[in-house]
Amino acid sequence: MNAAAAPLFRRLRTTAAGLAVAVAALAQAPAQAALSFTLEVVDPNGAAASFKDQIHSHVAAALFHWGQHIDASATVAVQFHVTDAVPRAAAASATSAWVGFDGSHHVYDQGLSHKLRTGVDANGAAPDVLMYFSPTYMSTELWFDSDPFARSAPVAAGRTDAVSIFIHEFGHALGYNGWGDLTTGALPAGYASTWDTLTRWDGQTLWFTGANAMQVYGGAVPLTAGNNFHVGNLYGAGSDLLTDIMNGVVMERGTRYHISALNVAMLTDLGLPMVAVVPEPAQWALLGSGLLMLGWLQRRRRELPLR
Ligand SMILES: [Zn+2]
């Protein structure tokens, strides 16, 4: 959106309060990660003005819950857009970072993942994570938790748990994203995300083949038919994954979803510094060996799709 064309464009900067909540979150947890954050809410029409506090608390909580599984510290710059351009919710890292050449593709990390992994912010002071939420979805479907850290109150039976959605959306920013075809995982010429390099299409199902994920799941992980960058299916392969917070089929109303061991394993496979006992995958050694020789001209950042 062009600010000049929208005179009522309103930005609510809540950076200081964001840090305060993040500090509070750290105080109550045996934190593995120090994921503090800044939050900018972009709500040009004030459509979600009454949700300002909930947006803040749920961003804080989602980062807190992921932070329990990530062995890194960072301040995550979140830009949250209230917009009718999406039917429900979508998010992505705002940029990507080149990490290597795998023999056939230049491989890119999610910008947020890269920041957590290396300490380097690929796009400097610009936001790390872009989130887009429909105001109608927020007001008529989501159930905002009065304590999104404890998550103990019953979720309203007829509503979707907002904390689950916020965690899910940050999952896309952390690793569940790329440029592969939604059904087959087929790639554009020459480049791939870390996720894309670990998917395999067998003509019927798209699978995630990271070593840690396969160890946790007991084999290749079935991704959602027609909805790559998610796990699970309504029928057949992956029908046992519908309770996973990163499932791409349905988020049941009245249901609270939690970060799973599979989510942690998948992000480990994607190179994130997760709190886990599983070993690093061998892929990164291969990528590293190619660093010096290949593709310097291909290293510009690439924009990621929203998920
Ligand atoms: Zn999703």
Q: Higher pLDDT residue, 71 or 276?
A: 71
Distance (Å) from CA 177 to ligand 1 centroid: 9
Share of the chain above pLDDT 70, in %: 81
The per-residue DSSP string of 197-236 comes to: GGEEE-SS-EEE--HHHHHHHTSPEEBPTT--SSB--SSS
pLDDT in tens, 149-197: 999 999 999 999 999 999 999 999 999 999 999 999 999 889 999 999 9
What is the amino acid identity at position 269? D
pLDDT in tens, 234-270: 999 999 999 999 999 999 999 999 999 999 999 999 9
The DSSP H or E segment spanning 18 is helix 15-27
Distance (Å) from CA 202 to ligand 1 centroid: 23
pLDDT in tens, 267-288: 999 999 998 544 444 444 444 4
pLDDT of residue 6: 34
Say yes or no to pLDDT of 10 above 50.
no
70 strand-pairing partners: 274
What is the amino acid identity at position 36? S
Determine how many CB atoms are found less than 10 A away from the CB of residue 90. Answer: 19
Q: What span, in angstroms and rounded, lies between the C-alpha atoms of 225 and 241?
A: 13
Distance (Å) from CA 248 to ligand 1 centroid: 6
Residue 45 burial (C-beta neighbours within 10 Å; 0-12, 13-18, 19+): middle
**Residue ranges of domains in the chain:** 3-97+108-174, 191-298
pLDDT of residue 252: 95
pLDDT of residue 301: 77
Among residues 92, 66, 78, 95, the alpha carbon closest in space to that of 18 is found at 78
Say yes or no to pLDDT of 43 above 50.
yes
Distance (Å) from CA 134 to ligand 1 centroid: 14
Secondary structure (3-state) at 180: coil
Distance (Å) from CA 168 to ligand 1 centroid: 6
Distance (Å) from CA 21 to ligand 1 centroid: 26
Say yes or no to pLDDT of 31 above 60.
no
pLDDT of residue 32: 59
Q: State if pTM tops 0.85.
A: no
Q: What span, in angstroms and rounded, lies between the C-alpha atoms of 233 and 251?
A: 12
Kindly give, in sequence order, each residue whose CB lies less than 8 Å from that of residue 124, ignoring residues fewer than 6 positions away. none
Token pair, residue 255, equals 């249901």
